[in-house]
Amino acid sequence: MASDRIVIFDTTLRDGEQAPGFSMRIDEKLALARQLDGLGVDIIEAGFPIASDADAEAVRRVASEVRRPVIAALARCCAGDIDRAGWSLGPADRSRIHVFIATSDLHLSRKLRITREACLDAAVESVKHARRYTDDVEFSAEDATRSDFDFLCRIVEAVVAAGAGTINLPDTVGYAVPSDIREFFERIRARVPNADRAIFSAHCHDDLGLAVANSLAAIEAGVRQIECTINGIGERAGNAALEELVMAMRVRPDRLPFETGIRSEYLYACSQALSAFTNEPVQANKAIVGRNAFAHEAGIHQDGVLKDRRTYEIMRPEDVGVPATTLVLGKHSGRHAVQKRCEDLGFTVERFELDQIYRAVITLADEQKTVSDDDLVAIVHELRRPHRDSTHTVVSIEHIEIGYGHGV
């Protein structure tokens, strides 16, 4: 694998689905897995089979019907979890068992109530057990960024020796900042003697809004797998957003000279599919796939985009599957945007008429925030209808009366 190729490990169907309100039925998980396959993700973490019979069956269905990517299943470091994951992944062409155990003293003492040595033994034995089902085993040290560094190095070295080919060191609670993450991975990779035998992975949470920034810092530190989700969904504030990571590398190859196998023109479709399956809308200002990501209302911005969209857009909407740039007609809009929208709707307007239409649009926008195409058509038709009093026109749109003749 080339050093500049980043493996995209999508965990929308596992960590993403664990977010309150984002659960999916088996058929929905299978449909989304097919979308992720088309998108080009390298690995689909299809679920946590021990969690429920439905989750185990969902993983098995995905493993049976989605053939190109590696299909992964999560398991705690115990035999029952691993056996259940192995059964679920049985039909897969390429499978991965992803075993995990917490390594921070906080988790060991307060949650698991075990010693460091017991943790180390469980990790090693679990990797060996998982290898009975597949040669592709990933080990995750939960709460890695808050773990004792020396102990973490010991456990990484031991699980690599036991056969783990991927080492995931998560920022489980989103505690780190980018400088932490970069130093963390650089030190681990330099300290562990057999680090070159494994691919290192980052799994960053967004509790401080830094999941994407931390993931990019991890890549700069030599990490070659990133764990992420569509729309950034996941536990609490979510995971690193796949679409943001991919497009950051695509837009800034000067700073991030890395490649992925993602077909970015399908990002928007995947985002919309997830929103439909979960009935959870994408926030309007969400980067890349939000409703406003390629929308412009301010007149200065609209004028710039109409002349050359590079003035206010660093990527093309079609690059991520968004149909087109949107010029939103609102109270901040300019005349050029109103004229362009009129032309798009088939109207040719002269300067004096444009001034009247523009005033009507701004007045209506003050009342209802935005002006739709239907509103604009009604405004033009009303202005062009003969009136007894040509000095004052009243337009009624959805029972809202607007007076014209005043300055803007």
Residue range 349-376: average pLDDT?
90
- pLDDT value at position 244? 98
Render pLDDT for 19-31 as a digit per residue (tens, 0 to 9). Answer: 999 999 999 999 9
Please say whether the beta carbons of 292 and 285 come within 8 A: yes
Of 66-80, 193-207, 375-389, the one with minimum mean pLDDT is: 375-389
Dist. CA 295–CA 21, nearest whole Å: 28
Residue 64 φ/ψ, nearest 5 degrees:
-80, -35
Residue 95: CB atoms within 10 A of its CB come to: 22
- pLDDT value at position 408? 29
pLDDT of 150 higher than 80? yes
Residue range 312-332: average pLDDT?
88
pLDDT of 395 higher than 70? no
pLDDT of 389 higher than 60? no
Domains located in the chain, CATH noted: 7-278 (3.20.20.70), 295-403 (no CATH)
Please say whether the beta carbons of 364 and 371 come within 8 A: yes
- pLDDT value at position 400? 34
- pLDDT value at position 2? 41
Q: Which residue has the higher pLDDT, 398 or 114?
A: 114
Element (H, E) at 397: strand 394-397
pLDDT of 348 higher than 80? yes
Dist. CA 50–CA 154, nearest whole Å: 28
Dist. CA 75–CA 388, nearest whole Å: 78
Residue range 389-396: average pLDDT?
43
Q: Which residue has the higher pLDDT, 331 or 170?
A: 170
Q: How many Å separate Cα 171 from the centre of its chain?
A: 17
Dist. CA 306–CA 325, nearest whole Å: 10
3-state secondary structure of 99: strand
Render pLDDT for 252-292 as a digit per residue (tens, 0 to 9). Answer: 999 999 999 999 999 999 999 999 999 999 999 999 999 88
Please say whether the beta carbons of 202 and 218 come within 8 A: yes
Element (H, E) at 17: none
Please say whether the beta carbons of 225 and 199 come within 8 A: yes
Render pLDDT for 55-93 as a digit per residue (tens, 0 to 9). Answer: 999 999 999 999 999 999 999 999 999 999 999 999 999
For 128-149, b/e burial (b = at least 16 CB within 10 A) is ebbbebbebbbbbbbbbbbbee
Q: What is the DSSP secondary-structure string of 183-211?
A: HHHHHHHHHSTTGGGSEEEEEBB-TTS-H
Element (H, E) at 46: strand 43-47
Alpha-carbon distances of 192 from 3, 100, 180, rounded to whole Å: 19, 19, 18
Residue 332: CB atoms within 10 A of its CB come to: 16
Residue range 333-345: average pLDDT?
89
DSSP-assigned letter for residue 107:
I
- pLDDT value at position 233? 98
pLDDT tier for residue 47 given thresholds of 50, 70 and 90: very high
- pLDDT value at position 320? 96
- pLDDT value at position 387? 59
Of 85-94, 111-120, 209-218, 344-353, the one with minimum mean pLDDT is: 344-353
Compute the mean pLDDT over every residue in the chain, rounded to the nearest whole number: 92
Of 160-164, 314-318, 369-373, the one with minimum mean pLDDT is: 369-373
Nearest to 35 by CA among 245, 234, 268: 268
Residue 133: CB partners within 8 Å, gap ≥ 6?
A: 82, 85, 86, 89, 95, 97
Task: Give percent of the chain above pLDDT 70.
Answer: 94
Dist. CA 365–CA 331, nearest whole Å: 5
